[in-house]
Amino acid sequence: MVEYKYNSIDLFAGCGGLTEGMRRAGFKTRVAVELEAEPAKAFRLNHPDAQLIQEDIRAIDMEDVKKMLDGSPLHLLAGCPPCQGFSSVRKLNKRASVRDPRNQLVVEYFRFVEELRPQTIMMENVPGLADYYLFKKIVKQLKNIGYSIDTQIVNVKDYGVPQSRRRLVMVGSTLGPITVAQGLKSHTTVRDTIGHLPTPEETSDPVHKIVARHSDAIRRRISLTPKNGGSRKDLPPEYTLDCHKDTAIGFNDVYGRLRWDTISTTITGGCLNPSKGRFLHPEQDRAITPREAALLQSFPEDYIFPVDVRKQSLALMIGNALPPAFSFTQSENIANHIAAHS
């Protein structure tokens, strides 16, 4: 049983990866904000005590949020504003970011900080956000209103998450200088994470039973892909899809298998579809299941995901989540910082 010592708010909460990590570090999420219905459903299933505001963050009246806090101190305001226009895929190898209205949501994060004045703050995002003029402006504004700020680009693989995923982390404090928590550099493998699971046919877990269905031709291609790390490049030429025949284009990892004894590739919003990346099981002739994807995102095995939603929605909520193990390390670092200044 976790002992709650501090209060937090989770902005852009998704299915609850950030809140799960904060919970383990002793933060009680008093208020969370998530617009999309299906991630919000998953959040409620796992964090029923949090007051979830399911509406556009730009329409939220801060007085309503203050009423929800009911005079309690706010120790940490954390969030991951959607900034897909800065992702490496969306930028298409160009330095300029894709114009995406969601890029402006970092301003809403600052609005919450400015009006609620939490003791500490944390923001996680894609590395490309670091060069965005609005982000640079907000960092300057945060310093102007009394926050000590540190920003670093790190990889979640160094924090107990069994995948490679580079992220920008910003932490701030009104209590004194603070720095982003550093990783331990000890990596967890795919085998460590999902090697113990039964097959989808043998499991009683409804989330693990969900498997992508394919045509006979695709199933044949998957069966011919060498176990433990094979890829489409290992297939005989007659199995090369037309879209892959031009070697100058395309992503080499699509229809590739995960490797048992190393970390996974990044779990994305396409993680249940092998045409979107290296998302085939190391040995079994299938794509990974939502449970396996969630475990590779470091969610606990008993984390609840709704099974009455589209598979694509499950993939998006899992792939877009902040890995709880990473959130825990950063949140624990902040909890220790608060305790040291109490």
Catalytic residue numbers read: 83
* Cα 255 from chain centre: 22
The H or E element that residue 295 is part of is helix 290-296
Question: Do residues 52 and 44 lie in contact, with contact meaning Cβ atoms separated by under 8 Å?
Answer: yes
Instruction: Determine the distance from the C-alpha atom of residue 332 to the mean position of all C-alpha atoms in its chain, rounded to a whole number.
Output: 18
- Name residue, tokens 């959130």: 327
Q: What's the CA gap between 177 and 171, in Å, rounded?
A: 10
Contact 171, 150 (CB under 8 A): yes
By C-alpha distance, which of 94, 163, 97 is closest to 126?
97
Give residue 56's identity as a one-letter amino acid code: D
- Do residues 95 and 147 touch, judged by C-beta distance below 8 A? no
Separation of alpha carbons 145 and 142, rounded Å: 5
CA–CA dist 274, 296 (Å, integer) = 16
